[in-house]
A and B are shown apart, each in its own frame.
Chain A
Amino acid sequence: MKLLKPANLRSRLTLWYVSVLALLLIVYATIVFAFQYAALTRQMLHDEIQDVVTVEGLLYFDSNGQLQLRQDYFSRPQSHLLLDRYMEVRDPSGNILYRSSTLQGMSLDGPIRNGEGDRSFNERVVRLENGNHAFIISHIHGMDGHVLLIRLGYSLVPLRDRMLQFLLLLVIAIPLALVLAAMAGQAIARRALRPIHTLTEHATHISASNLHDRLDVRNPDDELGRMALAFNHLLGRLDAAFQQLRRFTADAAHELRAPLASIRTVGEVAVGQGTEAGLRKAIEDILEETSRLNETVDSLFLLSRVEAAEAPGQFEIFPLRPLVEEVTSLLSVMMEDAEVKVTYAFETDQPVQADRNLLRLALVNVMHNAWKFSPHRSTIQVRSVVLADMVQLSIQDEGPGIPKEEQEHVFNRFYTRSNPPNGRQKGTGLGLSIAKLVVERCGGRIAFDSSLTSGTCCVIQLPPLRQDRVVQ
């Protein structure tokens, strides 16, 4: 079957085309052949009936009582298909009264059948003793007080020869037509596929280094134009992703370089001074910087892990409230220390569907962020509602708020806001990006409410339960 599965599209198209054409031609030829055969046979029957009528008028008994046929009958030219005419006349008891010379003494069909030639012509195909077939009819004719059974027919040999010729012609002509069609098909397919070939050539030359290149779109409305457009969109997204990746790598390297620089400086200065106390302090500083570096690397790993997770598999259904309380209880000492009160308003107990561990991480980061910017003796309000099918969780602090121009950057990686109050430690700048990535992986959205004039409100929206996922 390998032969029937050509590798390239052009040959496949041609093969299909030729196969369909062959099927059509064969069906067509069969119908024509059958129709032709039926028409010729009907014509023959018609001629034979006329012949019988003619013959009836030409038969006579001679003086010896022998049945004779007037000879001038043969002068009439016939269709070249009706060459060998056979005729036999019998009396009712089956005795042969006349037999044409063309029969050369052979009998035309056997004994008389019951009611033969009485009502109909009994047209039929019979086999002669020499093996040839003949198409004959029978007719009963009364003459001079005698009852005669006339059997008249024509040899089928010329007709069958002619049909065989016709068949032969078809057998030769159809493959020839198919070969021509295949050649034409190849040419058409090549022409039709040429733009794809061009596209392929072009696409081959696009690599990571020239992703900004685009394919030419000649006609944006035809199939190929749409394909090129789709391809260009794909390139656009890839280009953006690559640029983001490049920027991210650069940012990450920069972010790692900063603590490395301070480690180096601290170490070099300490070794230069060489005092016991100085060395000890330097090592302590270095260890602290190392631990910060470590946090950054861990966060980067976490980001790449969440990013790489495809269809999130370990989704579970759980109520939001216990999770929120778990997170605030984890951070409660910090809240108490800063005398920040957390109030809850759970207006819905609709469960959500997410990766619980990751969502917990996201909430810890968001709550931690709220804590970081909360002034002493303030309140953080946590509120959950159902809004347009989404479960919405908002966390609002009474901090200084985020300036409009910073709002779109706060989720960016390595973005750290201008110094938090109370000298609280600067983070890795990855907490909120992790939160955003996690929430988006869970099919939700996260943003800061920009309509507030004071404080900051982080809004997390999680999608409703999906029926197909509920089945466990």
Chain B
Amino acid sequence: MPSQPRILIIEDDRKMSEALGSGLEGAGYHIETASSGEEGFYIVHTLRPDLLLLDLTLPHRNGLEILRQLRQDRIDLRVLILTSHNTVEDRVEGLNTGADDYLGKPFSFPELLARIDALLRRMLPASEPGPLRIGDLTLDLRTQAVERNGLPLELTQREFDLLLYLVQNRGRIVSREMLAHDVWRETSRFTPINNVIDVQIARLRRKIDDPFPVKLLQTVRGLGFCLREP
């Protein structure tokens, strides 16, 4: 795999395509864009990207048809579907047709980044187990012990899961949707869960940040939360 993974975006909404492109370039990917299935096909065959972001509602040929064709041609390519058709049935159909992942529009950009990373990382060996560390904060996965600056911190199970998820995504922004889905395991998004997340984050912050001068857990307004060393 080259040092800079190549991503092809097939999306007919120009604004969306541009925004995705510039966002992903900023995250260190090489980007190609296509606005129709035919154009996308050509790029897939000539440039061999590592990952395809595929919109389903395209002019002329439906995204699923393109995906089917790619899978018939046995092209080794990760495919992430981006679409506003977001019912369970749509998801199942997309995944059955051969997509590796499925993200409903409107999605949060941090979530898209996380999914892309996960898809491209799948090819690499998993990182070795051991205490996770960020700044002076350490998490022991086996004993579920958390320490900061040598001081043990008492966390509830939910707080530990939340912190673990933030640590695993350290340096990256984590949206509320991602937390609801990956930490709370809620299948549908609805109002109350956002309140729950906000309160839970506030409590976690009280435990891991408030007693210490360096704040690790940051709120990024409009996007979500981020755990990083300032």
Q: A residues near B, CB below 8 A? A: 283-288, 290-291, 294-295, 298-299, 301-302, 305, 330-331, 333-334, 337, 357, 361, 364-365, 368, 425, 427-428, 431, 434
| B199 contacts A by Cβ under 8 Å | yes
- In the complex, chain A residues whose CB is within 8 Å of the CB of B106: 290, 294
Report whether B192 and A364 are in contact in the complex, using a CB–CB cutoff of 8 Å.
yes
CA distance A365 to B195 in the complex (A): 12
- In the complex, chain A residues whose CB is within 8 Å of the CB of B181: none
A-B contact pairs, 23 of them (CB 8 A): A287-B222, A288-B221, A288-B222, A290-B106, A291-B222, A294-B106, A295-B189, A298-B188, A299-B190, A301-B86, A331-B192, A333-B196, A333-B200, A334-B196, A337-B202, A361-B188, A364-B190, A365-B191, A425-B195, A427-B191, A428-B191, A431-B191, A431-B192
- In the complex, chain B residues whose CB is within 8 Å of the CB of A434: 190
Report whether A285 and B87 are in contact in the complex, using a CB–CB cutoff of 8 Å.
no
**Nearest B residue (CB) for A367:** B192
Interface string of B192-230 (1 = CB under 8 A from A): 111110011011000000000000000001110000000
- In the complex, chain A residues whose CB is within 8 Å of the CB of B184: 330
**Nearest A residue (CB) for B109:** A287
CA distance A286 to B199 in the complex (A): 22
Q: Which of B86, B187, B193, B222 contacts A285 (CB 8 A)?
A: B222
CA distance A368 to B194 in the complex (A): 11
CA distance A427 to B193 in the complex (A): 12
Evaluate whether A299 and B199 lie within 8 angstroms (CB atoms) in the complex, with A284-B222, A288-B221, A288-B222 already known: no
Distance between B193 CB and nearest chain A CB, rounded to angstroms: 8
CA distance A434 to B191 in the complex (A): 12
**Most-contacted residue by chain A among B191, B199, B221 (CB, 10 A):** B191
- In the complex, chain B residues whose CB is within 8 Å of the CB of A330: 184, 192-193, 196
Q: B residues near A, CB below 8 A? A: 86-87, 106, 158, 176, 184, 187-196, 199-200, 202-203, 221-223
**Nearest A residue (CB) for B203:** A333
- In the complex, chain B residues whose CB is within 8 Å of the CB of A299: 190-191
Evaluate whether A302 and B221 lie within 8 angstroms (CB atoms) in the complex, with A331-B196, A334-B195 already known: no
Report whether B203 and A295 are in contact in the complex, using a CB–CB cutoff of 8 Å.
no
Evaluate whether A287 and B223 lie within 8 angstroms (CB atoms) in the complex, with A305-B87, A330-B196, A334-B196 already known: yes
CA distance A287 to B221 in the complex (A): 8
CA distance A91 to B73 in the complex (A): 115
Evaluate whether A368 and B191 lie within 8 angstroms (CB atoms) in the complex, with A333-B196, A337-B199 already known: yes
- In the complex, chain B residues whose CB is within 8 Å of the CB of A333: 158, 196, 199-200, 203
CA distance A368 to B193 in the complex (A): 10
Distance between B65 CB and nearest chain A CB, rounded to angstroms: 25
- In the complex, chain A residues whose CB is within 8 Å of the CB of B203: 333, 337
CA distance A294 to B107 in the complex (A): 9
Report whether A295 and B221 are in contact in the complex, using a CB–CB cutoff of 8 Å.
no
**Nearest B residue (CB) for A286:** B222
**Nearest A residue (CB) for B84:** A297
Distance between B121 CB and nearest chain A CB, rounded to angstroms: 27
- In the complex, chain B residues whose CB is within 8 Å of the CB of A284: 221-222
Evaluate whether A298 and B192 lie within 8 angstroms (CB atoms) in the complex, with A287-B221, A290-B106, A333-B200 already known: no
CA distance A298 to B189 in the complex (A): 7
- In the complex, chain B residues whose CB is within 8 Å of the CB of A364: 190, 192
- In the complex, chain A residues whose CB is within 8 Å of the CB of B222: 283-288, 291
- In the complex, chain B residues whose CB is within 8 Å of the CB of A301: 86-87
Distance between A414 CB and nearest chain B CB, rounded to angstroms: 13
Q: Which of A283, A287, A288, A295 contacts B191 (CB 8 A)?
A: A295
Distance between B162 CB and nearest chain A CB, rounded to angstroms: 11
CA distance A299 to B222 in the complex (A): 20
- In the complex, chain A residues whose CB is within 8 Å of the CB of B199: 333-334, 337
- In the complex, chain A residues whose CB is within 8 Å of the CB of B190: 295, 298-299, 302, 361, 364-365, 431, 434
- In the complex, chain A residues whose CB is within 8 Å of the CB of B176: 291
CA distance A95 to B179 in the complex (A): 128
